[in-house]
Amino acid sequence: MNYASTYCFLLIGLLASCTGCQKEPTQLSSAQQNGCLMATQTTKQLVSERQPSQLDLETVIVDGKSFRVSTTKKSAYTYDEQGRILTEYNQYAGSEANYVRANANSVFYQYSASEVLIRTVSFSDNTKNERSYTVALNKQGLAEKLPLDFKATYDNSGYLLSLVNDDYKLAATIDKGNIIEQTMPGYDATPSHTFRYTYDLDKPGLPAIPTFYGKPSRHLPAGYTIQQNGPFGVYPNVYQVSYTYTFNELGLVKRQIFQGKNGEKAYLYGGGSPIKVTDFTYTCSQ
């Protein structure tokens, strides 16, 4: 997964500390930059036999090379007055539609003092599917655990202080709200993988979308590597990712280009397109 797209690990947010008796601390506002929240997100991937989408075709230049990309996912988000995500609507095309086995889905978030109920309604051709699950919240209104059973603690601003998986004795290295290193456990005879992240320390991180997981990083991700651990020769030993960005008139990220290098990314963590283009729009408070 990427974290964007490991990005399963880069998801996050906030909630009231009791059942309405106390207003949520302003420092946990999910509007990370200039009071701005993510409004829409559009993802494009390389056109290929496995990724046949012809939607919004575009040629992008990365490291002097031309790549043909097309839209595989469009997302839109709404939030409540406290900046917590309320609804998420996703449309899928090409390889992404095949991966999620849906043409579209809607995600609804309902909050209480101790948990958030997440309900997803998916549509595929003439089929409708629903599933629900809950995420336990701490007294800050933030998730007690992140994916893969990592217990999380946060500072007063909602940035991560610690991530620990007790079952596998794994602890992430975190510096000033940025995850520097994190090992993901292996399952079903697969090896574990260690992610090492770098950041642009002159620029703030992207706003959180699933706001109940805290803030993704204090600074803008510059790239990461994935190191395979163990004797299994299934995936490349080191997979390298770099990001390039363009910015809008407010200095917010307008476009992010993900570039994967040195072979196919481990299937366990997303696999797929070595070039991924993501465009962002924002809603900002006055």
Mean pLDDT, residues 8-29: 30
Q: Tell me the domain boundaries of the chain.
A: 26-73+141-284
Give the pLDDT score at 30.
36
Q: Please tell me the least confidently modeled range out of 93-102, 162-171, 263-272.
A: 263-272
- Chain Cα centroid distance, residue 171: 20
- Write down the mean pLDDT value for the chain: 84
* Region of poorest pLDDT, from 13-22, 32-41, 171-180: 13-22
Q: Which helix (H) or strand (E) holds 197?
A: strand 193-204
Inter-residue contact 6 to 258 (CB < 8 Å): no
pLDDT in tens, 116-140: 999 999 999 889 999 999 999 999 9
Who's near 118: CB < 8 A, 6+ residues apart?
A: 107, 108, 109, 132, 133, 134, 135
User: How would residue 26 be classed by pLDDT, with cut points 50, 70 and 90?
Assistant: very low
User: Model-level pTM?
Assistant: 0.83
Model pLDDT, residue 7: 31
Query: Which run of H or E residues covers position 96?
Result: helix 94-100
